[in-house]
Structure 1
Amino acid sequence: MAMTPEELQVLQRIETQLTTMPFYVVEYIRSKKRAGLSANTLLQYLYRYQHFFKWLLREGLTDAADAASIPYSVLEKLRKQDIELYIEYLQEESIHYEQETTKKRGKDVVNLSVHALKSLFNYLTKETENEEGESYFYRNVMSKIVLHTKKETASRRAQKISSVILNDQEIHEFLHFVEFEYEELLESAIAKQRFKRDKERDLAILSLFLGSGIRLAETAGMLTKKVNLKKKLIDIKRKGAKEDTVNIMDQAIEHLKAYLSIREARYKGAKDVPFLFVTLYGGTARPLSRRAIENLVGKYTAAFAQGEGISPHKLRHSFAADFIRNGGNIVLLRDQLGHSNIETTSLYTNLSSKDQEQVLTRMGTNRSKKNMQIEEDC
């Protein structure tokens, strides 16, 4: 499948970063790219390695002139205490921003750095091969570093999800709001004009999230020729560049039909753009970026809620919760969402405390009826 401009930009950034990396990091990136690890993940890992190597140089743990010159023997000789000091540095370092504000790294960012290093060290000690057919080295200090993550029950994690998703009634009301009420909130003529131009496109995007449960990246990377309106199917590229076919709800199909009927007329040059969702830039159609899709979802949901907007991922959660609520089973939902682990999908079986209360109420009512029947029989 064709790559979006964003995906091409990420690949270019990876190549730029690799020019400053040691050869064994270059080998690692090439290997993981072939294995299907996402380009976004690899780029984030490269940023972590860059920071780690700079720390090694600054702390005098290597005599190398720069990061690219650091031999893997330095990594082999690192002690557990060295890594623990680096993690403490990650936690305590002040991050400076253009607005002259500073803050500490969040726990998730620190954990990402540790995961990145664990992956690299695992590769160097298990998957590499020198001229003698041996791994570059065998002493893996990162295997001694344990991440202590806060454990939660599936029910507790599900409650966190359910607090920021739309229920079945809200899904209907939200799409109705965008289609028939949102325009009335706009004050400027330019804003109204732009909304009218993009209305069918934006409704198709919102309806697609809520009618299929696909991810943000999958939406941005969708190709027009991969949409089968008659069979109500779309072909998409999942994580790890896996090809998949996804079913779509009728309402989303209708919104897609409406968008496709005006796509080429309203967005000049759209016929030559393979990606389904486009915008106008400099008077010419361009693929709609993930950031733009994320922004439009936030804009409409914030207006609907008269407060803070939600992300495309929460619309995906909304679809999943509604799927289970309407009798869908967990295996079907796993396939629909493209999860590789059914434990992730199982969160949605615990989503609504209101649903649980209703089940308990029905149980109580049924038991009461049975007790009354027993008393009458006696």
Structure 2
Amino acid sequence: MGQETTNRYYQRIEEKAKDLPWYVGEYIDKRKRKLSPASLLNYCHDYLIFFSWILAEGIFEGKRTDIPLEVLQRLTRQQAEDFLSFLQFQLNNSELTVNRKLSSLKSLFHYLQNIAETTDLEPYISRNVMAKVELNAIKEDQETLANRMEGKILRGEEYETFRQFVAHDYGLINKDNKKLLNFHQKNRERDTAIVSLILGSGIRLSEVVGLNVDDIDFRKYTVRVIRKGNKEQYVYFSEQAMLDLKEYLSIRVSRYSLEKSNKILFIAASMGPKGTTRRLTSRSIEKLVEKYATAFGKPALSVHKLRHSFATRYQLENNDIPKLRRQLGHSSVQTTMIYTHLTNNEMQEAVNNMDRTKDPIDETDDHK
């Protein structure tokens, strides 16, 4: 999502927030650092529907912006259930959509009860009716999960395009921002190696965080990881990941002012006393991927989606679920089977291409 689009989203969010009670506007402002602008705009739509329903039901008489906190605190569980019924049977929302809108309300009410506080250090509300309401139990099949995931992962040429973006293009588009440019120039080899390793192996975020230099086998193209259940496993990674790891390792000691005895693979930029170094945390890696993904125009791309991207590509090219299951460290083959659904479209296209590229001579021979 470009900066211009992001600004438009925030402008619409501000416009919607003006039609909501002050405490909702406060909550939305607090969530700007945590949620994407698209998600925040959806929250605003959900809250407009909810507070309009309160007026339509006669629970409060007056303007939507004037609905006080006391109204929320006095809502009964039956009234909350009535609102969900309104969504499902009058607005014809699907169970998934009802769940999403209920989740946004749960998040708001949680903030009002457990986070926000008055000048007297009291919570905005002492009773949270939304905590008493359960989400619809929906069991999605693997194909549904796959379809939802499909637009949020890298496909085809995007693998290399995104890697190149992390390695070079991010710096180019921020050449006029000295702070961003300097930070990118210092960390681009490290960040590229992280992204390339996940895209080239599918290892988990926790596994990336825990890596040491000695865990990399440069001859066998494997990395030693500690999987769930504290199980040690050697996982293969791609040649491109190896190249990016070698480039990072060639500058790692000098760039981050490390002692040669320091074996942490992915180092955080120095903070505090000179010479202080630390391992990149899970949140730090999540944030750096989010930063590049947003600038790349694919804000839904996360560390976990990079893992999904690897798995989808592997299954498409190899069609070997048992090996993919081992590579990803899944305990159940059913978890791995989702990637067979993700690659169905590509497989169908490949079959269709066979007809379009068929040699005319072969067609003549078929009629003999």
Q: Aligned partners of 2:229, 2:343: CA distance in 1, in Å?
A: 31
Distance apart, 1:308 and its partner CA? 2.0
User: Is 1:175 matched with 2:167?
Assistant: no
Distance apart, 1:106 and its partner CA? 9.0
| C-alpha contact (below 8 Å) 1:159/1:352 kept by paired residues | no
Query: Which residue matches 2:323?
Result: 332
Query: Judging changes above 3 Å, is the alpha-carbon distance between structure 1 residues 208 and 270 closer, same or farther for their aligned structure 2 residues?
Result: farther
What secondary structure sits across from 1:235 in the alignment? Answer: strand
Query: Which residue matches 1:31?
Result: none
Q: Aligned partners of 1:254, 1:244: CA distance in 2, in Å?
A: 22
| C-alpha contact (below 8 Å) 2:224/2:232 kept by paired residues | yes
Q: Per-residue displacement from partner, 1:39-77 (whole Å, max 9, x unpaired)? A: xxxxxxxxxxxxxxxxxxxxxxxxxxxxxxxxxxxxxxx
Query: Judging changes above 3 Å, is the alpha-carbon distance between structure 1 residues 295 and 375 closer, same or farther for their aligned structure 2 residues?
Result: closer
1:113-192 aligned within 5 A: 149-186=137-174, 187-192=176-181
User: Is 1:348 matched with 2:339?
Assistant: yes
- TM-score, length of structure 2 as denominator length: 0.60
Distance apart, 1:321 and its partner CA? 0.6
| C-alpha contact (below 8 Å) 1:154/1:347 kept by paired residues | yes
- One-letter code of the match for 1:297? V
1:23-172 aligned within 5 A: 94-96=109-111, 98=115, 149-172=137-160
Deviates more, 1:183-192 or 1:207-216: 183-192
Question: Which residue, out of 276, 287, 291, partners 1:295?
Answer: 287
- TM-score, length of structure 1 as denominator length: 0.59
Query: Which residue matches 2:201?
Result: 212
Q: Aligned partners of 1:188, 1:357: CA distance in 2, in Å?
A: 45
User: Is 1:257 matched with 2:246?
Assistant: yes
- One-letter code of the match for 1:287? R
Query: Which residue matches 1:281?
Result: 271
Q: Aligned partners of 1:375, 1:208: CA distance in 2, in Å?
A: 48
Question: Which residue, out of 301, 310, 314, partners 1:323?
Answer: 314
Distance apart, 1:270 and its partner CA? 5.3
Q: Per-residue displacement from partner, 1:197-242 (whole Å, max 9, x unpaired)? A: 1111000000011000001110001122111122211101111211
Q: Per-residue displacement from partner, 1:252-286 (whole Å, max 9, x unpaired)? A: 01111111111111112354543211112224211
Q: Aligned partners of 1:323, 1:246: CA distance in 2, in Å?
A: 14
What secondary structure sits across from 1:237 in the alignment? Answer: strand
- One-letter code of the match for 1:155? E
| C-alpha contact (below 8 Å) 2:225/2:232 kept by paired residues | yes
Q: Per-residue displacement from partner, 1:281-311 (whole Å, max 9, x unpaired)? A: 2242110000000000111111112x52421
| C-alpha contact (below 8 Å) 1:204/1:252 kept by paired residues | yes
Paired-residue identity, %: 35
Structure 1 alignment gaps of length 5 or more: 1-87, 112-147
- One-letter code of the match for 1:286? R
Query: Judging changes above 3 Å, is the alpha-carbon distance between structure 1 residues 375 and 309 closer, same or farther for their aligned structure 2 residues?
Result: closer
Q: Aligned partners of 1:338, 1:180: CA distance in 2, in Å?
A: 32
User: Is 1:242 matched with 2:231?
Assistant: yes
Q: Once superposed, what is the RMSD of the aligned Cα atoms?
A: 3.7
| C-alpha contact (below 8 Å) 1:159/1:351 kept by paired residues | yes
| C-alpha contact (below 8 Å) 1:273/1:287 kept by paired residues | no
What secondary structure sits across from 1:150 in the alignment? Answer: coil
Q: Aligned partners of 2:173, 2:130: CA distance in 1, in Å?
A: 38
Distance apart, 1:190 and its partner CA? 2.3
Q: Aligned partners of 2:246, 2:320: CA distance in 1, in Å?
A: 29
Q: Aligned partners of 1:170, 1:244: CA distance in 2, in Å?
A: 29
What secondary structure sits across from 2:235 in the alignment? Answer: strand
Query: Judging changes above 3 Å, is the alpha-carbon distance between structure 1 residues 330 and 270 closer, same or farther for their aligned structure 2 residues?
Result: farther
- One-letter code of the match for 1:304? F
Deviates more, 1:330-339 or 1:271-280: 271-280
1:5-16 aligned within 5 A: none
Query: Which residue matches 1:313?
Result: 304
- One-letter code of the match for 1:183? G
| C-alpha contact (below 8 Å) 1:297/1:309 kept by paired residues | no
Q: Aligned partners of 1:333, 1:104: CA distance in 2, in Å?
A: 45
User: Is 1:226 matched with 2:182?
Assistant: no
Query: Judging changes above 3 Å, is the alpha-carbon distance between structure 1 residues 376 and 259 closer, same or farther for their aligned structure 2 residues?
Result: closer
